[in-house]
Amino acid sequence: MAQSAAGAGVDLPPATGVTATAARPMTRATPEPRDRLIVALDTPDTAEAERLAGALAGHVGVFKVGLELAMAGGIGFARELASDGHAVFLDLKLLDIDNTVAKAVSNAADQGFAFLTIHAYPSAMRAAVDGLKGRDLCLLGVTVLTSLDADDLREAGYAATPEDLVLSRAQAAKAAGMGGIVCSPQEVAAVRAAVGESLAIVTPGVRPAGSATGDQKRIATPGEAIRAGADYLVVGRPITRDDDPAAAAGRIVAEIEAAL
Ligand code: C5P
């Protein structure tokens, strides 16, 4: 396997599953249930992320690097995972003035990432698509965080319900030319009906029956999310905090397979 250029020592089994090139076209026709499982590597440092990625390579389709790990060397780590052929989801939830969003996306493209998130504000998404210039990176619009409920939205100054806000942002994502959206499993069916088959739908807030919800509020089981029409599931703590992460991932993949 390829050694990392930056020398951070990412050394995992060969990649399988989703590739950056395949991410967009395979949105509705993913061949392997495993490829639909995205694991959130929310860890305090890259050593722990590497341990988890080593345990999970071949058991999940995509590794997600988010803000926690990004602040601890995670972007370089993500680049190395990608250069070793693993499918990588950079979950930076970008939101800034249009010019900055466009330039950030432009810099992120061509680094081999499969997915990148932008908060689903219409102007930010249009800027992101402009910055991408047709290159091969699936841009996902984050509609409404799965940790927020109606009370949280009211407190933040929104009159809309989570479902209404998700739907209008999903439609804006489609209009902007985004590759997909992120929403709660509870909204997947309504979003799919509203936007059709062209957008990938990615759902965090996934909890196998009996597992701790943590701070997530709008949740469902893996089977429920897939049956509702989700293409990809993001799962973090139910896998990463298990004593046997590969076995936990395997149980979720089995549930995905049964629901397809
Ligand atoms: O540990 P858990 O399964 O709750 O992790 C969910 C992951 O999905 C986290 O990395 C979180 O940042 C991310 N996420 C989310 N809700 C969104 C978008 C991303 O929970 N709307």
Tell the CATH superfamily of the 33-259 domain.
Aldolase class I (3.20.20.70)
What value does the mean pLDDT of the chain take?
89
pLDDT at residue number 18: 52
pLDDT at residue number 10: 52
**Residues 205-248 pLDDT 10s:** 999 988 888 888 888 999 999 999 999 999 999 999 999 999 99
What residue type is 26 in one-letter code? M
pLDDT at residue number 70: 98
Average pLDDT over residues 95-107: 98
* Mutation to probe ligand 1, out of 41, 42, 181 (largest number of atoms < 8 A from CB): 42
**CA neighbor of 6 nearest in space, from 80, 63, 78, 93:** 80
pLDDT at residue number 31: 54
φ/ψ of 138, rounded to 5, equals: -85, 110
E strands, 21-87, are 37-40, 62-65
**CA neighbor of 144 nearest in space, from 114, 128, 165:** 165
- Annotation says 133 is catalytic: no
- Are 202 and 179 in contact, with CB atoms under 8 Å apart? no
Residue 205 Cα to ligand 1 middle (Å): 6
Taking CA atoms only, the protein residue closest to ligand 1 atom 2 is 236
pLDDT confidence band for 6 (50 / 70 / 90): very low
* Residue in the structure block whose two tokens are 């927020």: 148
**CA neighbor of 184 nearest in space, from 249, 116, 254, 233:** 233
Domain boundaries, the chain: 33-259
- Length of the chain as a residue count: 260
**Residues 145-169 pLDDT 10s:** 988 999 999 999 999 999 999 999 9
pLDDT at residue number 14: 46
**Residues 167-186 pLDDT 10s:** 999 999 999 999 999 999 99
pLDDT at residue number 113: 97
